[in-house]
Amino acid sequence: MARVVLESLNKFYQASRKSERVYAVSDLNLEIRDGEFLALVGPSGCGKSTTLRLVAGLEDISSGTIRIGDRVVNTVEPKDRDIAMVFQNYALYPHMTVAENMAFGLRLRRIPRGEIEARVQSAATLLGLGALLGRLPKELSGGQRQRVAVGRAIVRQPQVFLFDEPLSNLDAQMRLQMRGELSRLHHQLGATMIYVTHDQAEAMTLGDRIAVMKDGRLQQVDDPVAIYRNPANRFVASFMGSPPMNFFNGQVARGEAGGHWFAQRAEGGGSGFRFPAPASFEPGRALVLGLRPEHIGVEPIPGATPIEGRVELVEMMGAETFLHLSCAGERCVARIPCVARYDIGSEVRAFVLAQEARFFDPETGGRLSP
């Protein structure tokens, strides 16, 4: 296996006006460690799939450097980069059996027949495909086809595996099952894997680290817990998490009895709730307060700050409920245990945890340190 290093990587296209450039990837610096599972996540059009295609050699870079292991591969042909790619649409040959699909790439490389059979059988055993080797793709389920596509990559024994949203065509139950199988596969192979997805749940459950992109730029790269608990900016905070983080606009005020407070700016003027703010923030400074839904509850908690809200929507999720509230004109979601029912329009007193608050700059979106 090998590490992958992207240095000052750029990919741009000429716009209709020849002097203008449209950047799909902009000044990307990222290291994927040897044996690491890196999840590359972001909304559609953020540049994550383009980045993967640049690593694979399916698109030419505009500037920068790509290293796989100790080699600079900027001008190396895709077939010579020692990578294997799994696509969203499986890309199986319909007239070939499972075994033939998995062996095809090895035959092109003139690998000895005995070694091909051994590799195919080993990968089939690992993926639970042993009984399906004689079937055609049309005789397989979606999940089975995806496992064949993964198996075709495994038999290559590459330095790096590249996954381009491989589970997006599967139903919810099958995606959950395949996530578990990919995680187990990474553990068994110890392989370097780069996994592109727009699904933050896939990124959180699969990645050793997560790299979040927006508009072609890297926003943050860290382990899943750090990404969730300590987002670098408002975009990362809102994108990672379901439901996303709640945000409230306001400013710092000095309390009558001392101390600093975040004073919510209510919609249409007036006053909203008050919330303890770090002493390092200057009074009068505009802030955005961020709170995860699980840090807003309806049961009194020692040390929690009460806020008043009106119920606007109730989502029953089984073991928990997403309670959508309007607090002084700003909407928020509370994640609570499924123990009570609430009527639309009813008034609710919620409680928020000050120690879990995150503050952001309203202009730049960057997270502010106390």
Residue 363 has pLDDT above 90, yes or no: yes
CATH of 246-368, one of 3.30.530.20, 1.10.540.10, 2.40.50.140, 1.10.10.10: 2.40.50.140
CATH of 4-239, one of 2.40.110.10, 3.20.20.150, 3.20.20.30, 3.40.50.300: 3.40.50.300
**pLDDT, tens digit, 9 for 90 and up, residues 108-163:** 889 999 999 999 999 998 888 999 999 999 999 888 898 899 899 999 889 999 99
Rounded CA separation 331/324 (Å):
7
Quick one: pLDDT at residue 271? 63
Quick one: pLDDT at residue 232? 96
Rounded CA separation 203/177 (Å):
15
Share of the chain above pLDDT 90, in %: 61
Query: Is 322 exposed, middle or buried, given 0-12, 13-18 or 19+ CB atoms closer than 10 A?
Result: middle
C-beta of residue 114 within 8 angstroms of C-beta of residue 148: no
Strand partners, 7: 65
Domain ranges of the chain: 4-239, 246-368
Quick one: pLDDT at residue 265? 82
C-beta of residue 101 within 8 angstroms of C-beta of residue 88: no
Strand partners, 336: 321
Percentages of the chain per state (helix, strand, coil), in multiples of 5: 25, 35, 35
**pLDDT, tens digit, 9 for 90 and up, residues 229-276:** 999 999 999 999 989 999 999 999 887 666 788 888 876 655 678 888
Quick one: pLDDT at residue 61? 96
Would 4-239 and 246-368 be classified into the same CATH topology?
no
Rounded CA separation 319/337 (Å):
6
Question: Bigger pLDDT: 331 or 370?
Answer: 331
**Cα–Cα distances in angstroms (integers) from residue 147 to residues 115, 177, 317, in the given order:** 21, 11, 31
Residue 103 C-beta-side C-alpha neighbours within 13 Å: 21
Residue 89 has pLDDT above 90, yes or no: no
Question: Bigger pLDDT: 282 or 73?
Answer: 73
**pLDDT, tens digit, 9 for 90 and up, residues 305-331:** 888 899 999 998 888 999 999 988 889
